Structure 1
Amino acid sequence: MDIGVIQGIDRLILLAFNGSENLFLDNFVVVLTSAYTWIPLYFSLLYLVIKNNENWQKILLVIGAVAICLLLSNTINLGLVKPLVARLRPLEEPSLRGIISATNNYSASGYSFFSSHTSNAFVLAVFFSLLIRDKVFTTCMLVWCSVVSLTRIYLGVHYPSDVVVGIIFGSSMAVLVYFLYLRIYIRCSDKLHYNISTKYTRTGYSFADIDVVISILILTFIYAAFRAVLSI
Structure 2
Amino acid sequence: MLDQLILWERELFLALNHLHTPFLDAFMYLISARWTWTAVVIALILWVFYKRSPKEAILFIVIAVLMHVACDQLTSSLIKPFFGRLRPAYHPYTKDMVMNVYNNLGWGFSFVSGHAANFFAIAMFTSLSFRNRFYSVLVFSLATLVAYSRIYLGVHFLSDIIPGSLLGVLLGYLFYRLYVLCRSKFFGKSKANLPYKVFQNNIVVWRTILLGYLFFMIAFSLEMSKVLIRIGYY
TM-score, normalization: structure 2?
Answer: 0.87
Conserved 8 A contact 2:89-2:155: yes
Identity %: 24
1:88 aligns with one of 58, 73, 86:
86
Q: Distance in 2 between matches of 1:62 and 1:25?
A: 34
Question: What residue identity is the alignment partner of 2:223?
Answer: F
Give the CA deviation at 1:188. 1.1
SS in 1 for 2:52: coil
CA shift in 2, pair 1:20/1:204, >3 Å = closer
Question: What residue identity is the alignment partner of 1:34?
Answer: A
1:228 equivalenced with 2:225 (yes/no)? yes
Q: Distance in 2 between matches of 1:19 and 1:203?
A: 44
Q: Distance in 2 between matches of 1:133 and 1:139?
A: 11
Q: Distance in 2 between matches of 1:146 and 1:212?
A: 19
Tell me whether 209-218 or 11-20 shows the greater mean CA deviation. 209-218
Conserved 8 A contact 1:18-1:101: yes
Q: Distance in 2 between matches of 1:207 and 1:71?
A: 25
SS in 1 for 2:85: coil
Q: Distance in 1 between matches of 2:124 and 2:164?
A: 13
Name the residue aligned to 1:25.
24
CA shift in 2, pair 1:25/1:189, >3 Å = same
1:176 equivalenced with 2:174 (yes/no)? yes
Give the CA deviation at 1:49. 1.3
1:73 aligns with one of 44, 66, 71:
71
Alignment deviations for residues 159-216 of structure 1 (CA, whole Å, 9 cap, x no partner): 0010001100011001001111101102211442999xxxxx6454223423443343
Q: Distance in 2 between matches of 1:49 and 1:174?
A: 18
- 1:131-150 alignment, distance < 5 Å: 131-150=129-148
Conserved 8 A contact 1:19-1:103: no
Question: What residue identity is the alignment partner of 1:174?
Answer: G
SS in 2 for 1:94: coil
1:60 aligns with one of 58, 61, 75:
58
Name the residue aligned to 1:114.
112
Greater relative CO (CA pairs within 8 A, separation 6+): 1
Conserved 8 A contact 1:41-1:216: no
Aligned CA-pair RMSD: 2.2
CA shift in 2, pair 1:176/1:119, >3 Å = same
SS in 1 for 2:10: helix
1:35 equivalenced with 2:34 (yes/no)? yes
**Number of aligned pairs?**
225
Tell me whether 104-113 or 219-228 shows the greater mean CA deviation. 219-228
**Structure 1: 5+ residue stretches without partners:** 196-200
Give the CA deviation at 1:92. 0.5
Conserved 8 A contact 1:117-1:149: yes
Name the residue aligned to 1:210.
206
Conserved 8 A contact 1:90-1:100: yes
**Structure 2: 5+ residue stretches without partners:** 230-234
Q: Distance in 2 between matches of 1:181 and 1:15?
A: 40
Give the CA deviation at 1:132. 0.7
Q: Distance in 2 between matches of 1:128 and 1:21?
A: 32
CA shift in 2, pair 1:96/1:214, >3 Å = closer
CA shift in 2, pair 1:40/1:92, >3 Å = same
Name the residue aligned to 1:11.
10
